[in-house]
Amino acid sequence: MYASTATSATVTDVKGRPVVPLIRVPWRTALLAAHFLVGLMLVPLVTHRDDKGYWLVNHRVAAWWLGRIGRILRLDITTSGTPPVAPALVVANHISWLDPVVLGHLLPTCFLSKAEVRKWPLVGWLAMRGGTLFIRRGGGDTGSLSRVIAEHLQHEGMLTLFPEGTTSDGHKVKRFFPRLFSAAIDTGVPVAPVAIRYLCDGRTDSLAPYIDNQSLAENLLGLLRRPGGEVHVHFCPPIPSQGRERKSLAGAARDAIAQALEASRPGIAAKTAPTGSAPKELDCQRTFAARATPTLNGPASRHALAETP
């Protein structure tokens, strides 16, 4: 049973819950399921292995497919700065499993990921066929890891990794692991820092971060229930790697990202939802009309995404 009042356009059920989120979850779940089915059918057509054993992917098709995930979740993506060009080792702060989705939509890049992702049903297989390199955390073999990254940079030209080694809530950038930068120095490839910020009604997004031992299903459910969100990506100027030590290179990349995020940090009042605000899973109740979005240093470019319920 549903109820509505003459003073509000919001339709609620008998318990006072908005009806739209109840419809939104199954609808978007169906869209995602259909989209992953399309991905499975596309894989044999747009990916192949070369004579060296590398998986190669048509990045235009991959960008479309990843962008469609953003459209289903109604992610409003904006960018600022100049996107890097190959060859480049792209490094970014890590907040969510959505980070590779967003960056893969914007850049013709492959990714370095923890080995556990390879075991994720369907997602791990798609990532592998998309050229993702998987590493075992705490493996300790810096030389071997550096060679793998270097070979990929020389072969594909661009690789994206998240040198914090874990996700954060988006408020601060954690320490970068220097060993991940050895390959850039060995090959002379520049490092391209990228700053990612998720916003929700003008404040730091509390749903997008994939943290606190949360399962992927739990995080995805929260994203499916809400109307949508915003993500801004700032491409910092590339940092030459020649003549640098890996520790100083890692520090310079981290500082560039931290400074870009600090320059666009939401106000203190915007960080915390007011007392009595809507439940976390129903946050961001807003229409997605075109409007100004906070940028990270410089003019922004909007990536318009079609609306879904």
| CA-to-CA separations, 134 to 40, 114, 187, 258, in angstroms, rounded | 20, 5, 20, 26
Q: In this structure, is residue 6 part of a structural domain?
A: no
- Which pLDDT score, from 0 to 100, does residue 54 have? 78
Tokens of 207: 């749903």
- Which pLDDT score, from 0 to 100, does residue 288 have? 32
- Which pLDDT score, from 0 to 100, does residue 117 have? 86
User: What is the spatial distance between Cα 286 and Cα 19, in angstroms, rounded to a whole number?
Assistant: 15
Identify the CA nearest to 233 among candidates 192, 195, 202.
195
Q: From the first residue on, what is the mean pLDDT of each consecutive set of 10 residues in the chain (309 residues)? A: 40 55 88 95 90 84 95 94 96 96 96 87 88 75 79 88 92 93 94 95 89 90 91 97 94 96 66 38 36 44 48
Task: Specify the long-range contacts of residues 57-60, CB closer than 8 Å, at least 24 apart.
Answer: 57/110, 57/129, 57/130, 57/131, 59/108, 59/109
Q: Residues 106, 66: contact at Cβ < 8 Å?
A: no
Identify the CA nearest to 74 among candidates 277, 231, 270, 265.
231
User: What is the spatial distance between Cα 231 and Cα 208, in angstroms, rounded to a whole number?
Assistant: 10
Q: In this structure, is residue 230 part of a structural domain?
A: yes
Dmax (CA) of the chain: 70
Q: In this structure, is residue 11 part of a structural domain?
A: no
CATH for 58: 3.40.1130
Q: In this structure, is residue 309 part of a structural domain?
A: no
Q: In this structure, is residue 173 part of a structural domain?
A: yes
- Which pLDDT score, from 0 to 100, does residue 160 have? 96
Q: Residues 253, 176: contact at Cβ < 8 Å?
A: yes
Q: Residue 158 is part of which domain span? A: 18-303
User: What is the spatial distance between Cα 238 and Cα 85, in angstroms, rounded to a whole number?
Assistant: 10
How many domains in the chain? 1
Q: In this structure, is residue 4 part of a structural domain?
A: no
User: What is the spatial distance between Cα 95 and Cα 26, in angstroms, rounded to a whole number?
Assistant: 26
- Which pLDDT score, from 0 to 100, does residue 212 have? 85
SS3 101: helix
Q: In this structure, is residue 13 part of a structural domain?
A: no
Sign of the CA dihedral running 90, 92, 96, 99: negative
Q: In this structure, is residue 215 part of a structural domain?
A: yes
